[in-house]
Structure formats: C-alpha cells, structure tokens
C-alpha cells in the first residue's frame, strides 16, 4: 500500500483525506472545511494545516495539494476564485514551509484528470479526453492517450462574448437560480464550443454536481460521449495524493518536477 494525503483546495471548500494510491481508495474519513472568505494565502495555508492535523498522519507520508489556479514551477499564476495575492506567489514553497515537508503542488482539475486516468472514467481511453469540473469555476484537464497536458484553462474560453465559467459553472447555475434544464442550455453551448475547438473522443464531467449527472447530462446533445467523473468529487484528492507518491510510473504523472 502506498499511502499519501491528498488535499483539494477549491473556491468554496478545502477537502483532504488519506489515500491508498495503489487502489485509489480513501483510507481515512474525508475532512472538509470551508475555504476562508477572500481566499487569502495565509488563511488557506492555515486551513490546510488544520486538515492535516485532523488527519493525524505521520510526518513521512507524502502530501499532494491541488489548487484552483495555473501552477507553473510551483508558482500560482492566476486567481479566478481566490485572492489576487496568489498571482505570481511561490505557493508550493509557502505550503512546504508551513507544513514542514516537501509536497507535490498542481492545478486542481489536472489532479482530477490524473485520478480519472489512473482509476476512473479515462482509464485506458485512447485519444483526447477533456475533463471539466463544474464547481465555483470550471476547471479542465486535457489528456491525450493517457498523458496530461497541464494547465489547460478551458473554463475561461470565451463563449458568446463571455468568460465560459461565469455562465456555465455550477456557481453560475446557483447565482442565476437556474433549473437543471435552464443550466443545460448553457452547458450545451459551452460543450459545443469545446467540441468545435478540440474534437475530443470523450468528455468527462466532474465537480460536486456530477453526482446529480442524471439531471443534466441526458439533456446534452454532443458528438462525443459525455460521462460523469467516476470518482465524483474525490478526484482532486485522489489525483493530488497519487502525484505525491514518487515511485509510480502510471500514465498521467509527467515528470516529478518541471524542468526549470
């Protein structure tokens, strides 16, 4: 058993659990705390420390953290649903100092994509898979023949003159008090544009709302099959944990550290 902690930082909640990265199963309870208002770096770091304390894991257990921003060489380079202070921040180093250990630090949707390749709906799928997470924002992972192409920001493509996630995320559905049917119209338009640009072989839909996929996926008419994430909202935790375990060779991992 290769144990690792996965922490998934979102715009609304921060979740963590101990994971068996060989099987992709949670082996502790899942702890979820609200993302502190404003999404400031110190507050988020303190919440992550709190979750790791609650998990009571040994100091030598690898930790993977995923975050809702572009992550390049450990730096956060965007901040759509957290404080703008994250832009350009040495975020990986900040967490490593606070947690007093090395961590693996990646984009949240990329972590979910890696988990779906290893344990879920993208396993052994050839060609282009696009995973989108519908939450506070829209996250995306581009996977070709099982290999992740990191930091695709397809939640921010322009659809009918607007930033896609502002209209089609789950938070947008809630803000506009849309029924599933009303939301599905916006999702239809969004996925049509993705199909026109990328011609994917498979679309996977993750995020908390993916557990209610029967309410909206059947309303969509697309060329590619569109399926719910097999790991539902645990994909980020599982992918971050899997990436933290260094001795794995499974598809989707990429190099342990990016070339500087």
Q: Which residue has the tokens 């309303």?
A: 219
Among 137, 146, 228, 239, the residue binding ligand BGC under the rule CB under 6 A is: 137
The residue (of 137 and 239) whose beta carbon lies closer to ligand BGC is 137
Q: How far apart are CA 43 and CA 137, in angstroms?
A: 20
- H runs (alpha helix) in 120-234: 164-168, 170-175, 180-198
Q: Which residue has the tokens 């979820």?
A: 32
Q: How far apart are CA 92 and CA 219, in angstroms?
A: 40
Is 8 among the residues that bind ligand BGC (CB under 6 A)?
no
Is 132 among the residues that bind ligand BGC (CB under 6 A)?
no
Among 14, 99, 106, 109, the residue binding ligand BGC under the rule CB under 6 A is: 109
The residue (of 116 and 165) whose beta carbon lies closer to ligand BGC is 165
Q: List, in sequence order, every residue forming a beta bridge with 134; answer none if it has no partner.
A: 138
The residue (of 92 and 165) whose beta carbon lies closer to ligand BGC is 165
Pairing of strands 63-67, 3-9: parallel
What's CA 187's distance to the chain center, in Å? 19
In whole angstroms, the minimum distance from the beta carbon of 72 to ligand BGC comes to 12
The residue (of 3 and 165) whose beta carbon lies closer to ligand BGC is 165
For the segment 182-221, give every residue that binds ligand BGC (CB under 6 A): none
The stretch among 14-22, 64-72, 189-197, 226-234 that binds ligand BGC (CB under 6 A) is: 64-72
Pick from 4, 206, 251, 194: which is nearest to 112 by CA?
206
Is 68 among the residues that bind ligand BGC (CB under 6 A)?
yes
The stretch among 40-48, 52-60, 75-83, 117-125 that binds ligand BGC (CB under 6 A) is: 75-83
- 3-state DSSP assignment of residue 244: helix
> 194: how many CB neighbours lie within 10 A of its CB?
20
Binding site for ligand BGC (CB under 6 A): 10, 68-70, 78, 80-81, 107-109, 133, 135, 137, 139, 153, 155-156, 165
């Amino acid at each position: 058993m290769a144990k690792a902690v996965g922490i998934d930082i979102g715009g609304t909640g921060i979740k963590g659990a101990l994971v068996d990265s060989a099987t992709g199963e949670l082996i502790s309870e899942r702890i979820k705390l609200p993302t502190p208002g404003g999404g400031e770096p110190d507050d988020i770091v303190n919440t992550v420390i709190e979750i790791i304390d609650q998990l009571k894991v040994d100091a030598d257990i690898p930790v993977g953290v995923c975050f809702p921003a572009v992550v390049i060489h450990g730096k956060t380079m965007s901040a759509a649903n957290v404080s703008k202070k994250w832009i350009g921040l040495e975020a990986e180093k900040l967490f490593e100092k606070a947690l007093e250990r090395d961590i693996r630090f990646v984009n949240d949707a990329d972590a979910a994509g890696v988990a779906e390749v290893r344990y879920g709906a993208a396993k052994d799928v050839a060609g282009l898979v696009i995973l989108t997470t519908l939450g506070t924002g829209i996250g995306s992972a581009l996977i070709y023949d099982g290999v992740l192409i990191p930091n695709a920001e397809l939640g921010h493509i322009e659809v009918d003159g607007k930033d896609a996630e502002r209209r089609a995320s789950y938070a947008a559905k809630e803000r506009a008090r849309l029924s599933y049917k009303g939301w599905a119209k916006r999702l239809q338009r969004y996925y049509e544009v993705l199909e026109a640009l990328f011609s994917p072989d498979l679309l996977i839909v993750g995020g908390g709302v993916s557990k209610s996929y029967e309410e909206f996926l059947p309303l969509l008419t697309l060329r590619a099959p569109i399926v719910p994430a097999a790991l539902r909202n645990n994909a980020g935790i599982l992918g971050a944990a899997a990436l933290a375990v260094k001795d794995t060779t499974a598809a989707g991992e990429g190099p342990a550290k990016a070339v500087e």
